[in-house]
Amino acid sequence: MVGFLLWLLLLVICWPLALLAIVLYPIVWVLLLPFRLLGIVVNGVFEFLKALILLPARILRGPKAVKA
């Protein structure tokens, strides 16, 4: 919502720049999409490595006690 209000303010102040922003936003979003996917993959790899390193401690801890 804040982004929309800022765009409306830009529209009032400088409408050509606001129209350029509304046209370029989807193009920039598509160009940045591979980097977002790469970030998700790198985060997944780090979480996997963390789980792999902590696996012996989880095994030695044993099963969790079940609350009744």
Q: Per residue in 12-57, pLDDT tens?
A: 999 999 999 999 999 999 999 999 999 999 999 999 999 999 998 8
At 65 the pLDDT is: 67
* Helices and strands (H and E) in the chain: how many: 2, 0
Question: Which residues, other chains included, contact 28 with Cβ-Cβ below 8 Å and sequence gap of 6+?
Answer: none
Number of Cβ within 10 Å of residue 10's Cβ equals 16
